[in-house]
Structure formats: C-alpha cells, structure tokens
Structure 1
Amino acid sequence: MVNTLAQVVLAAGLLCSWAAWAGNQKEEAMADSVRLALSNAIKDTRPPQPVFRDEAGRARYQQWLTAMSDRLKRKLPDDQVRLEFLQSVWYESNRAGLDTGLVLGLIQVESAYRKYAVSMVGARGYMQVMPFWTNAIGDSDRSKLFHMQTNLRYGCSILRMYIDIENGNLYLALGRYNGSRGKPAYPNAVLAAWEKWKFPT
C-alpha cells in the first residue's frame, strides 16, 4: 500500500513537471510578410529527403543518424518509427536553419518524444504546437498536428520565427515559444537538454 501510494505520488509529480513545460505559444499579431512566409513554409509538401553537397556531408549525416538512433532507442523502440522521426527532425531543423540537437532537446522537454502528447492548454504533438497556428498559417486542420513531419515543420518554422523576432536571442525565443518569455525555467531546461543531443563537429 505504501509503495503504491508512493508510486502514485511520483507519477503525479512527473505529470505535473511535464505539464509545466508543455508548449503554450501565444497568438500574436504578425506582419503579413511573416504570416505569408510561415504559410508558404508549412504548405511545402516535399518529403524529408536529405540533399548533400558532397560525400563527406552524406557520411556525416549517416554518423549523426546512427548516433542519435542509439541515444533515442529507449524512447522510440520501433526502428522504423525512430528512423523516420530522426530523418524528419534532421530535414526540418536544417530547413529552418536550426541545430538538430536544439530541436531534439526542445522535443525532449516539450513532449518527451510522444507523438500524440496533448498539454493542458491544448498544444499538440512532438513540438507541442498550439492549434491556433493551423488557422493563422495552415489549412485549419488541427488533426495534422499529430502527423510527424507536419508537427515538426510547424514547430521548427515557429521557433525560427521567434529567433528572428528576438534578433537571434535564443533564450528569449525559447521563452516566447513556451509562452513564458523572460522566465528562466523553460529556456534553461531546453538548453540543458540540448547539451545531451549535441553532435561533435
């Protein structure tokens, strides 16, 4: 009985700590040019096929894929799902000009790699994208936020926009992504998680 109670308390604590980080982007006024750029980025339906300048780039990608797959095996045990996830993360993060380790760290904090995660405020999927974004820059189909590549594309595009809005200040951009701009807990959590996902250059 004591063990069961302790397990319930621990589980509740973990749930609360996860929920505290879940995405809560705020709907903000955007310039028409920003809205159009985001909308065009979301509409791009190209599959996540990497393109390399040379064989060295291809080899480095394969090394990254192998290393990240090993690290992520416990969270995503299915080999095919893990491969597709990492290919999409690599493609979408590079497409948005983001470090792949940063994106993996943000996903760790936001959803713990759960495709169907839903926060208490309604944010969805791996990168905990708020549904209002589908109206602002998408086709209003909120169910698409549970599609792997679509969720990653929204999340990476939105984070890129926030970094640009904050003139490259990642700390403030991460706070804005979470709806907690100026508060240290969330940016610090993502930056700490990023350290675990960095790949040697």
Structure 2
Amino acid sequence: MKGLANLFIIVGLALLSWFGYSLYQQEQMHSVTMEEAESALEYLRQENGSATLEEEIQQFSPDAHAAFGLLHVPKLDRSIGIVEGTDPDALNKGVGHMSSTVFPGQGEQIILSGHRDTVFKNFAELELGDTFIVEMPYGDYMYEIRETEIVDADDTSVVGKMGEEVLVVSTCYPFSYLGNAPERFVFYAYPVLE
C-alpha cells in the first residue's frame, strides 16, 4: 500500500513539473515575441520612411511567423506580440493574424486569434465598449468591441468579407475549459474614429 502511495506522489510531482515547465516555456516564447514585435515595429518604421502612408498600408505583407505588431488591451493592461499566421507554431508565439484577412487600415476584416489560457488569459473580463489597440509599423488603430458570439470550434462562417473594417478576435471557449475547447468566443470590434 505504501508503494502505491509513493507511486501516486511521484506521478503527481512529474505532472506538476511538466505543467510548470510548459507554462514557463510559453511565457518565455511570448516575451521573445514581444521583443521581436517591438524590434520589428521600430525597424519597419525606419525602413518605410520614404513611402507614403497609403503605400505602406496597402503594401504591408509580413513573412509567415514573423512578429510585426502589438495588440494592446487597455482594460487588462496587457500588450501582446502579433505574428503572421494561425497555425500551432504561430499561436505558440503570440497572437496570430489569419493570413487570408487584411491588416488594419485596409478596410476589411482582420482576424486575430490566440489561446485563452496564455496570450488571451482573462479575456472573459472584456465587455462591450472595451477597446483593442493594434500597433502597426505604419500607425496605431483603435477598435471598440460592439458584438460577441460563441460558435462551434469548426465554424468558419465568421471568416469572410464584411464590407467594412472589422477587427475579429477569437479564442477558445469556454474560458475555463480543460483540454481542447469545443467552441470559440468571438469579439467583433469596430474602428474608433478620432
């Protein structure tokens, strides 16, 4: 009986160690992505100094998995690096930009995705009227959350032309679910005109 209890303790410690290491590794990756995003913003702003603003906006096209911007969430006092792509490698680095959608300032749907338990931790606290700020090499863009919805994990109906600029931010749902969540929580945020 004592041997079985010791086995459970060893297995429990091994699982805790693995979980702790996984969290540490993800935090390290996200901090690297923040540094990469900040460096990329600075570099791209210098590189595009001779182009007009409209040219910069329309010609912007980062490489896959490259960090290129920052997502600021004022209510949560958080800033997160944005990388190109939404495959598992990209999402392990930070917020992923869906490559088939446009970028801020291009007048159509922009989709950003992230994991609910890492980069989008505490997103359950966001409400209608809260804002996102996307910092791009060519400027900053503020969006106000006006709608939300919950869809099935395999529902692709949220992706498509909207006829106006809309920032769509999606993450797994329920927020406190363990394992692969069966649904997605989607925020629809619209430009705040200053």
TM-score range, shorter chain: under 0.3
Which structure has the highest strand share of the two?
A: 2
Higher relative contact order (CA 8 A, sep 6+): 1
TM superposition score normalised by structure 1: 0.23
Q: Which has the larger radius of gyration?
A: 2
Using structure 2 for the length normalisation, give the TM-score.
0.23
